[in-house]
């Protein structure tokens, strides 16, 4: 067994961690605030991925000189486009099903099917590849068989940047305070003057936008297809449940745990065995800590 190769695999696990983290943060904000389980979250991620694909093609055809910078345009567009679609979804679909969790589940599942089919109609059923700019190709060699690929370093930095941004937003801005207040006590927030409908819209857009960024990041490490989102939605929910809803730190640690278990287990066995090992691990952990890794207790 080569330690270098194993370390490389551990580092590659950090990419999965980053993507799961971005997905789970969005899910956790939405679920914590509105109790809405958004089954279309994986397809929101794919909106980000396909946006990146379209922008990459656009740059390579029309503005090839600036091709090395397309990734930044793609990330920003993915965020805003997905956030906007999330905003529309909340306004047209979720808002009318408020306090009906089962109906919301069905409605968002339906939306996810519609979106998957639209991807197939527009981009074809086959996976698409997004070419990376030159500066993301190659790797930083620490030793002969321990390499850190640039694209994976970039994704990790991107996730750290997003988590930092979200933390600042939630804890240092007025909107963040509103979101935290409504998450803890919706009626009381309303009775103190907070327009809870607006808070729902903003939070849903923000959570969706994060999924868009995750999708954009996903294109940097592999090809993506219409149903790729499906592979990530379950894992993202596992992250949210394991982390304990309403705990940012819990979400981060649980994304790390699941991402790493999965990649390292994949290294020693096969990818379906890795899934089994991850699931068994989570089931055991939830037996010990039913409310997730982090649950705070105070007098409410």
Question: Is residue 174 close enough to count as binding other proteins by CB under 8 A?
Answer: yes
**Considering beta carbons, is residue 95 or 223 the nearer one to other proteins?**
95
Stretch that binds other proteins, among 82-90, 124-132, 187-195, 214-222 (CB under 8 A): 187-195
Question: Is residue 172 close enough to count as binding other proteins by CB under 8 A?
Answer: no
Q: What is the dihedral of CA 187, 189, 193, 197, to 10 degrees?
A: -70
Question: Is residue 254 close enough to count as binding other proteins by CB under 8 A?
Answer: no
Ranges of H-type helices in 136-227: 150-172, 174-184, 186-191, 196-218
Beta bridge partners of 147: 141
Question: Is residue 190 close enough to count as binding other proteins by CB under 8 A?
Answer: yes
**Considering beta carbons, is residue 225 or 292 the nearer one to other proteins?**
292
Question: Is residue 99 close enough to count as binding other proteins by CB under 8 A?
Answer: no
- Closest Cα to residue 210, out of 181, 190, 182, 239? 239
Q: Which of 192, 283, 284, 288 binds other proteins (CB under 8 A)?
A: 192
Q: Which of 1, 102, 284, 298 binds other proteins (CB under 8 A)?
A: 298
Residue 236: CB minimum distance to other proteins, A:
23
Three-point CA angle 265, 269, 270, nearest 5°: 95
d(CA 273, CA 283) in angstroms, rounded, equals 15
- Closest Cα to residue 185, out of 196, 172, 197? 196
Residue 207, classed as helix, strand or coil, is helix
Question: Is residue 178 close enough to count as binding other proteins by CB under 8 A?
Answer: yes
Q: Which of 172, 193, 287, 290 binds other proteins (CB under 8 A)?
A: 193
Stretch that binds other proteins, among 47-55, 89-97, 186-194, 250-258 (CB under 8 A): 186-194
**Helix or strand (DSSP H, E) at 141:** strand 139-143
Beta bridge partners of 139: 149
d(CA 291, CA 279) in angstroms, rounded, equals 16
d(CA 204, CA 38) in angstroms, rounded, equals 10
Q: Which of 184, 269, 270, 271 binds other proteins (CB under 8 A)?
A: 184
Stretch that binds other proteins, among 85-93, 119-127, 170-178, 214-222 (CB under 8 A): 170-178
Q: Which of 95, 118, 139, 196 binds other proteins (CB under 8 A)?
A: 196
**Considering beta carbons, is residue 152 or 178 the nearer one to other proteins?**
178
Q: What is the dihedral of CA 217, 108, 203, 297, to 10 degrees?
A: -100
Question: Is residue 293 close enough to count as binding other proteins by CB under 8 A?
Answer: no
Where on the chain is the footprint of other proteins (CB under 8 A)?
Answer: 174, 177-178, 180-181, 184-185, 187-196, 246, 296, 298-300
């Amino acid at each position: 067994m080569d330690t270098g190769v194993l370390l490389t695999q551990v580092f590659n696990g950090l990419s999965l961690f980053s993507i799961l983290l971005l997905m789970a943060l969005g899910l956790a904000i939405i679920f914590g605030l509105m109790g809405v389980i958004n089954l279309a979250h994986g397809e929101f991620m794919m909106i980000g991925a396909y946006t990146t694909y379209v922008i990459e093609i656009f740059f390579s055809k029309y503005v090839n000189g600036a091709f090395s910078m397309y990734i930044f345009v793609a990330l920003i567009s993915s965020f805003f486009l997905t956030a906007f679609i999330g905003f529309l979804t909340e306004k047209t679909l979720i808002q009318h099903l408020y306090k009906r969790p089962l109906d919301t589940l069905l409605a968002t599942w339906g939306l996810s099917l519609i979106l998957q089919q639209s991807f197939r109609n527009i981009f074809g059923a086959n996976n698409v590849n997004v070419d990376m700019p030159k500066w993301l190709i190659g790797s930083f060699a620490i030793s002969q068989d321990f390499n850190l690929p640039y694209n994976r370093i970039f994704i990790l930095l991107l996730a750290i940047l997003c988590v930092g941004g979200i933390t600042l937003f939630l804890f240092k801005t007025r909107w963040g305070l509103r979101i935290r207040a409504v998450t803890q006590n919706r009626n009381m927030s309303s009775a103190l003057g907070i327009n809870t409908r607006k808070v729902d819209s903003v939070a849903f857009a923000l959570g969706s936008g994060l999924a868009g960024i995750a999708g954009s990041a996903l294109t940097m490490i592999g090809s993506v297809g219409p149903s790729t989102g499906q592979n990530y939605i379950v894992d993202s929910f596992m992250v949210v449940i394991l982390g304990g809803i309403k705990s940012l730190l819990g979400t981060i640690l649980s994304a790390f745990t699941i991402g790493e278990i999965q990649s390292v287990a994949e290294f020693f066995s096969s990818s379906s065995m890795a899934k089994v090992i991850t699931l068994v691990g989570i089931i055991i952990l939830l037996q010990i800590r039913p409310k997730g890794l982090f649950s705070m207790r105070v007098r409410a």
